[in-house]
Amino acid sequence: MSELLAIDGSARAIALRTLLVSGAATALAVLIGVPIGYAIARRTFPGRTLLLGLVNTGMGMPPVVVGLIVWLLLVRSGPLGDLDLVYTQQAMVLAQFLIATPIVIGFTSASIQALPERLPDLLIVLGAGRVRRLWLLAREARLGLLVAVMAAFGAIVSEVGASMIVGGNLERSTRVLTTAIVTETSRGEVERALALGLVLLVLSFIVNLTLTIVQQRPR
């Protein structure tokens, strides 16, 4: 139990790395996924339903499969081997970004579709420019948009497979909380694994609580 109370320096580094990798992947997924989700929700184009079907499938994509695909792309003999990214934090961000993006797109699209259909038109005739319009729409859809961020972060901060495959679980560079828990458990260090598990839960709680406070602020 002493492990639970005394988190050492290496555990702090692992926790910080976890936050950094998953935070960066979530931020990128939001940056790319929100506009795509918005476009799918508001526009009609050939193949829209097929695209939504693919996005919805992507929302449940097994991380280990994503990890395997990214590893095959980044490994030295792979098509992107020259980038020398395999077993780096960037590779982990890339894999987690691919897991998180469909989740962000799916939730964004659903939350934008739930807004009154004529709301963008209203904002146009009231005189809102493009940026102001998007900001006002995002505020209206913020319940759903923050669910998108929470779901995406939750999915990638807790995944093991992709991080293990593309990151390699290297002790001082690519080990994150989930892969560290696997390592400690396999070594028989159950107390330490439990302590890291608790850190992961607390980390996830703090991030989600912050987002929930933003989400539930009175309008």
Q: Is 12 in the site for another protein (CB under 8 A)?
A: no
Q: Please identify, using beta-carbon distances, which residue of 144 and 168 lies nearer to another protein.
A: 144
Packing angle of the helix pair 142-157, 130-140 (nearest 10 deg):
70
Q: Which stretch, 7-15, 92-100, 111-119, 203-211, contacts another protein (CB under 8 A)?
A: 111-119
| Exposure letters 99-114 (e unless 16+ CB within 10 A, then b) | bbbbbbbbbbbbbbee
Q: Is 219 in the site for another protein (CB under 8 A)?
A: yes
CA distance 3 to 218: 40
Q: Is 117 in the site for another protein (CB under 8 A)?
A: yes
Q: Which stretch, 10-18, 90-98, 122-130, 183-191, contacts another protein (CB under 8 A)?
A: 122-130
Q: Please identify, using beta-carbon distances, which residue of 65 and 122 lies nearer to another protein.
A: 122
CA distance 100 to 136: 24
- Both structure tokens of 115: 């807004």
Measured in whole angstroms, how far is the alpha carbon of residue 44 from the centre of its chain? Answer: 27
Number of residues assigned to the chain? 219
Q: Is 47 in the site for another protein (CB under 8 A)?
A: no
Counting residues that bind another protein (by CB under 8 A) gives 15
- Both structure tokens of 179: 């892969």
Restricted to residues 133-152, the positions that interact with another protein (CB under 8 A) are 136, 140
Minimum distance from residue 118 beta carbon to another protein (Å):
5
Tell me which residue of 145, 152, 162 sits closest to 94, measured CA to CA. Answer: 162
Binding site for another protein (CB under 8 A): 116-119, 121-122, 124-128, 132, 136, 140, 219
